[in-house]
Amino acid sequence: MTLVRTIVLAAALAAAPAALAQVAVTDAWVRGTVASQKATGAFMQLKSASDVSLVGASSPVAGIVEIHEMKMDAGVMRMSAIAALPLPAGKTVELKPGGYHVMLMALKAPLKEGDAVPVTLTFKDKDGRESAVVVNAPVKSLTAAPATAPAHAKH
């Protein structure tokens, strides 16, 4: 009987990370860059089966990857890093130009339309367990998405 309990417990523990990693990532893309540009954004839609938070990201194409938000502050659009982006269960959270996004900085090479950028997203649940999802985001042209997005200042 102890062997059966051990097997059942091991199976449950092995399944736990898979259950946590149930974040659907759709419409992922990265804005292309020009030769001297060292930063760009990655955008996508995230939908989780349970309450989790996006707590980190990484990519081999960038030396620094952060989760950012843009918001109006005294009439000026400002961009800043955030520690976590909550993903309420069953609701789609959009990462888009002019809003929440993944910032790729210290780029190692220009990103051109047609390239694919691997981005690893790290999520944490309410119990502190982490899981990761790897997305291969296609690079779109510099003019992709709203060209009228307001200018922003980093603070």
| Low pLDDT (below 70) residues in the chain | 1-21, 144-155
- Write the DSSP assignment of 124-145 as a string of letters: EETTS-EEEEEEEEEEE-TT-S
pLDDT at 154: 41
Q: Which fold has domain 2-142?
A: Immunoglobulin-like (2.60.40)
pLDDT at 67: 98
Q: What is the pLDDT of residues 51-81, one digit of tens each?
A: 999 999 999 999 999 999 998 889 898 999 9
The pTM of this model reads 0.79
Based on DSSP, count helices (H) and strands (E) in the chain, helices before strands.
Answer: 1, 11
Domain boundaries, the chain: 2-142
Q: What is the pLDDT of residues 106-120, one digit of tens each?
A: 999 999 999 999 999
